């Protein structure tokens, strides 16, 4: 009965977004989404930062602990998006950004202009699974926020993160994840998932990303589960924290 109800609701939600599903079926939605996603994320990021400001301030509050003696931090952000994290970074960050969508570059430039304490060294058009242009053990900090939900292979990204981090470097993350299996939140995540995947450029609602991070075997891991203050949003369950190589 539960499976039947789930299927009926998935179809109902899908019908509401039928044009998008049709475009995806014939292969036309992906290039459209790549163009539309950055300006949409500009608005979404503003709202998300408003709601998650205190969590982000707490998360990035100890970035300075990973600085070099000069005070500089070689920082790599995977999926830098519209630069939503810049305001939370300390002075001295020399950043490299990796994103498979080149359309984000103009939005990053606007954010950099407003946050002069962050220096952009490179923008690399590449997936997080294949950051071969970033040298091994070359960065102090890697940042991922709302990214691991949409990569093709979470474990491959985590392996690359460990490769590019220097020994003792930090991996900072803030990700939405699957809700508890027995909860209504989990049920509705499954209802929305097929349509959500297309609307938000490959974003998965039901990933248990904390398991991947735990299995990556960092030397130290501080991870918490929280409910983001995002009303009526199926992506409310989050994990937040950092790991040390």
pTM for this model (two decimals): 0.94
Q: What is the DSSP string of the chain?
A: -HHHHHHHHHHHHHHHTHHHHHHHHTT-HHHHHHHHHHHHHHHHHHHHHHHHHHHHHHHGGGGGGG--TTS-EEEEEET-TTTTTGGGSPTTEEEEEEES-GGGHHHHHHHHHH-TTEEEEEEEE--TT--TTSPTT-EEEEEEES-TTT-S-HHHHHHHHHHHEEEEEEEEEEEE-PPPTTSHHHHHHHHHHHHHHHHTTT--SS--HHHHHHHT--SEEEEEEEE-S-TT-TT-EEEEEEEE-
pLDDT digits (tens, 9 = 90+) for 1-28: 677 777 887 778 778 888 888 888 888 8
Please check the confidence at residue 207 and state whether its pLDDT lies above 80: yes
Fold exhibited by the domain 2-63+70-80+90-244: Rossmann fold (3.40.50)
Supply the mean pLDDT for the chain: 91
pLDDT digits (tens, 9 = 90+) for 130-168: 999 999 999 999 999 999 999 999 999 999 999 999 999
Confidence of residue 212 (pLDDT cuts 50, 70, 90): very high
Question: Would you state the pLDDT for residue 182?
Answer: 85
Question: Would you state the pLDDT for residue 200?
Answer: 85
The whole-number average pLDDT for the span 211-235 is 94
Question: Would you state the pLDDT for residue 80?
Answer: 84
pLDDT digits (tens, 9 = 90+) for 98-139: 999 998 888 888 988 999 899 989 999 999 999 999 999 999
């Amino acid at each position: 009965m539960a499976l039947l109800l789930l299927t009926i609701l998935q179809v109902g939600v899908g019908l509401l977004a039928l044009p998008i599903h049709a475009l995806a079926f014939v292969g036309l939605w992906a290039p459209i989404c790549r163009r539309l996603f950055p300006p949409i994320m500009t608005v979404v990021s503003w709202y998300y930062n408003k709601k998650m400001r205190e969590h982000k301030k707490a998360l990035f509050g100890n970035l300075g602990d990973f600085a070099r003696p000069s005070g500089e931090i070689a920082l790599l952000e995977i999926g830098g998006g519209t630069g939503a994290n810049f305001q939370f970074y300390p002075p001295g960050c020399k950043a490299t950004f990796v994103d498979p969508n080149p359309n984000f570059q103009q939005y990053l430039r606007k954010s950099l202009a407003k946050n002069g304490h962050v220096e952009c060294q490179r923008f690399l058009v590449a997936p997080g699974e294949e950051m071969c242009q970033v040298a091994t053990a070359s960065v102090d900090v890697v940042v991922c926020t709302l990214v691991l939900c949409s990569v093709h292979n979470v474990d491959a990204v985590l392996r690359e993160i460990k490769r590019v981090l220097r020994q003792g470097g930090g991996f900072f993350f803030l990700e939405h994840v699957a809700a508890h299996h027995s909860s209504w939140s989990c049920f509705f995540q499954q209802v929305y998932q097929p349509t959500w995947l297309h609307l938000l450029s490959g974003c998965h609602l039901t990933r248990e990303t904390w398991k991947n991070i735990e299995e990556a075997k960092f030397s130290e891991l501080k991870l918490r589960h929280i409910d983001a203050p995002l009303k009526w949003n199926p992506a409310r369950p989050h994990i937040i924290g950092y790991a040390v190589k």
